[in-house]
Amino acid sequence: MLAHEECYVGRSVLVTGGNRGIGLAIARGLADAGHKVAVTHRGSGAPEGLFGVQADVTDAEQIDAAFKQVEQHQGPVEVLVSNAGINDDTLLMRMSEEQFTRVVDANLTGAYRVAKRASRNMLRGKWGRFIFVSSVIGLSGGAGQVNYAASKAGLVGVARSLTRELGSRNITANVVAPGFIVTDMTNELTEDQRKAALAQIPSGRYGEAAEVAGVVRFLASDDAAYVNGAVLPVDGGLGMGH
Ligand code: NDP
């Protein structure tokens, strides 16, 4: 491990949904490693000490405007962490088409939009890192989560296609697949749902956002230069086997 050298180059980083939860932990972890970190938010403002740009990932014009601000502030985005995401769980029989497409639009099409906008400058700069925050659910599926699981599984296809398109240009595209991480998203679950999830986790505990951030920090570092098209679980063993 080249901890002391990890960040001899501070990269220009953008984390979508970096104003809270896992995204904020990722942004703080990358800033601590010496990178120049910007985050998107949807009106909450920038977290203390981080550069914030307002953008909803369902809107390509807002994304373009946000990238322009980041480029002016810290240079073209070299490390893109596509983290923004939502869920809207219900069984298939009850899931409206709007519920399905809204989740896919934010989680999957949103990732496509930001990746597309970032790619041209990564190509120009002959260096880039795409890191997509998926979920254990994208690989294992989840009852009541057809929309969410489809969006998260789709990110694997996006990352692996980018690896094939851009891998020879010094650009990597990887996926992080968190398990049960304590954030606002999981705090919405009922006590019974939380207990049922815990019973399935070999590590015997929920994960912390900082533990996802550590893996993202590795993927952004020079140590991960030859890791491409990978799906890295951060789930205490919950999803073992895929
Ligand atoms: P939170 O609900 O705590 O945070 C979600 C973040 O995404 C917020 O910053 C939110 O912004 C942002 N966001 C949502 N929709 C949009 C949008 N349309 N445009 C821009 N930003 C948006 O979730 P987590 O921190 O728990 O989750 C972060 C990521 O990790 C998600 O992709 C989630 O699916 C994934 N994940 C989470 C797990 C967990 O156990 N918590 C497990 C596996 C994956 P705002 O503050 O404006 O709402």
Q: Are 27 and 18 in contact (CB under 8 A)?
A: yes
Instruction: State both tokens at 30.
Output: 């990358």
Cα Rg for the chain, rounded, in angstroms? Answer: 17
Residue nearest atom 7 in ligand 1 by C-alpha distance: 84
Does the ipTM surpass 0.95? yes
| Chain center to CA of 190 | 25
Task: Say how far apart CA 25 and CA 128 lie, in whole Å.
Answer: 21
With 0-12 / 13-18 / 19 or more C-beta atoms within 10 angstroms meaning exposed / middle / buried, residue 229 is middle
pLDDT tens digits along 138-191? 999 999 999 999 999 999 999 999 999 999 999 999 999 999 999 998 888 899
Q: Ligand 1 center to residue 107 CA distance, Å?
A: 9
pLDDT tens digits along 185-242? 888 889 998 999 999 999 999 999 999 999 999 999 999 999 999 999 999 999 998 7
With 0-12 / 13-18 / 19 or more C-beta atoms within 10 angstroms meaning exposed / middle / buried, residue 177 is buried
**Does the predicted model carry a pTM greater than 0.90?**
yes
Residue nearest atom 10 in ligand 1 by C-alpha distance: 17
- 9 — pLDDT class (breaks 50, 70, 90): confident
Q: Ligand 1 center to residue 85 CA distance, Å?
A: 4
Decide if 148 is catalytic. yes
Among 8, 148, 206, 226, the active-site one is 148
Ligand 1 is surrounded, with C-beta below 6 A, by 16-17, 19-23, 40-42, 44, 56-58, 83-86, 106, 110, 133, 135, 178, 180-181, 183-186
Within a 10 A sphere around the Cβ of 135, how many other Cβ atoms?
A: 29
